[in-house]
Amino acid sequence: MGRRERVVFFVLASLVVLRVFRVDVAAMALNDTITYLFHSRDLLGRGFIQQGYRQVGYPLFLRGTSIVGHGIGLDGIFFAALVQRCLLIAGVILLFLRLRWVAFPVALAVTFPGLVAVTNLLITEGLSFPLSLLFAVSLIFALQALADEAPRNIWRARFIVSSPFFLFLALTLIKAQFAAFSLILVAMTWMALRQRHVTRRLVAAGLVGSGALSAALFFAMARENKAEIGVFTPVGEGARAEWYGAYQAIFNVRPENQRRPELSEFYARGNLYTFMHGLERSEKDYLARVPLFRARVDTMFAAAHESKTAEKIRSSLAILIGGRTDDIARVIRNQVVLGRDASRSYSTMYTRQHGMDRFFDEFNRGVRPSTISLRPVLGRGFLRGYRWAQSVVSLGAVIVLLIACWVGKQRLLSAAALASLALVSAGLGMYFLDNWRYTIGGFVITSVIASAAISSFKTQDPHF
């Protein structure tokens, strides 16, 4: 780039990065947060997985941020949200450094206030979102390093090519669905071996090591689930998830069903947990609950005159463009539109039962969480647009990757990215879980790789 072009690029890229600060850095707790906070206080006692599907990765992160945060004079809850926001900022900056102008569509999408607000949430998506961006960007840097047959600094090259494997492990520790993106690492390893790169042994060791550690994690999770719920599987409670997704598909995707008298029994005045929690209280045995959950789903679909198979296909396809439902829309609105409000930011079942002071005493050493606000300088972020922006970029990424599979110089990597996304979509769609927040990680990873594909088309560079 010429000097004038560099100046224009720097100014525009800086404006995009500044969008991240239009949402206050202020932690927000949900009901799920309480489970993770309790788990973080007893990592050894509660093990690798809780309730059949809540993994140890996020509680481990909360434990670390609590220790470090209080150690440097910040409260742990706020520090967790601050770290999540900093990871997002780092990902956006690195994206611009590597892809330049081509980075703008993805960078604009991930800095929409509605998406930025996710990093305030003390749930798995609050961390997996920025980590997904860093994983994808680190992969692009690694592929660039592999293109250099004789790197000047071998230690720098080793660090770069090993980074995707560590970030992959972190993501898998948080949510098992990210294991599907191991296909991308397989493609990267194949490239390193085929090119006989100086780091090929390290890359191969990274693939074997990350695979072995992931397998060990899933085995440990499966053993714990076998002991707790009676099923040897890394992620359990599939029947419960199916009821949750099916309810959303029948009543939230199709709101007209809420007024149908024959479905009122299932609708339960808009509370899907009425049946779920009622069954869990009356039937403690997980194996006995499974057929009851599935029978309820079958009966509901039959009453609604809908096909389960067709709905699973629609759900899987919807995941590719951001899903059809959004169970945290109200929470995001509170963060973006209303800003800091303690009564909204920490309103959970726990605080309603025990009070705010008990929550802060229990989980934040009695300190009310801090906040950082640049709204007086940058103005308030607007709420609308974040979901359609993701849908547009997601659809464009899929189209680009399909083209790259046929005419690109990195067909294997493009195919691996598409296959990974297809696995995630099929896995979630099987349970009707096309919920927006579950789609963010896959969207970010595939969109960054698609952007890199566009860059390679433009520069005729055989490497991303």
Task: Give the separation between CA 409 and CA 344, rounded to whole angstroms.
Answer: 50
pLDDT of 64 strictly over 60: yes
Between 161 and 457, name the one with better pLDDT.
161
Look at residues 203, 215, 184 and name the one whose alpha carbon lies nearest to residue 48: 215
pLDDT digit string, tens, across residues 268-325: 999 999 999 999 999 989 999 999 999 999 999 999 999 999 999 999 999 998 999 9
Instruction: Report yes or no on 359 lying in a domain.
Output: yes
DSSP H or E segment with residue 49: strand 49-50
When the pLDDT of each residue in the chain is averaged and rounded to a whole number, the result is: 89
The verdict on residue 101 lying in a domain is: yes
Could you tell me what percent of the chain has a pLDDT over 90? 66
In a domain? residue 163: yes
The predicted structure's pLDDT at residue 448: 96
3-state secondary structure (DSSP) of residue 304: helix
Q: What is the DSSP string of 175-229?
A: -GGGGGGHHHHHHHHHHHHHTT-TTHHHHHHHHHHHHHHHHHHHHHHHHHHHHHH
**3-state SS assignment for residue 28:** strand
Residue 336 included in any domain: yes
Q: Which residues have C-beta within 8 Å of that of residue 425, sequence separation ≥ 6?
A: 316, 317, 319, 320, 442
Is pLDDT of 458 > 70?
A: no
In 248-285, which residue ranges form alpha helices assigned H by DSSP? 264-267, 273-282
Mean pLDDT of 437-445: 95
Express each pLDDT in 332-380 by its tens digit: 877 666 554 544 567 788 888 888 888 888 888 888 888 787 765 665 6
Backbone angles phi, psi at 108, to 5 degrees: -65, -40
The per-residue pLDDT for range 95-150, each reduced to its tens digit, is 999 999 999 999 999 999 889 999 999 999 999 999 999 999 999 999 888 888 77
Classify residue 161: in a domain, yes or no: yes
The three-point CA angle 398-404-407 to 5° equals: 145
Q: Would 238 be classed as within a structural domain?
A: no
Which residues are within 8 A (CB) of 200 and not within 5 positions of it... i.e. 6 or more apart?
Answer: 192, 193
Mean pLDDT of 402-415: 86
Kindly report the pTM of this predicted structure: 0.94
- Between CA 435 and CA 404 the distance in angstroms is 28
Chain position carrying tokens 């659809």: 395
Asked if residue 348 is part of any domain, the answer here is yes
Q: Indicate the number of domains in the chain.
A: 1
H-helix segments, 329-435 = 329-333, 342-345, 349-354, 356-363, 375-378, 386-407, 411-429
State the pLDDT at residue 463.
45
CB half-sphere exposure, 328, CA atoms < 13 A: 28
Q: Which domain holds residue 158?
A: 3-226+328-380
Structural tokens at position 450: 């698609």
Angle between helices 436-459 and 386-407 (to 10 degrees): 50
The reported pLDDT for the residue numbered 344 is: 57
pLDDT value of residue 464: 44
Q: CA geometry: angle at 344 spanning 338 and 348, to 5°?
A: 155
**Is residue 310 in some structural domain?**
no
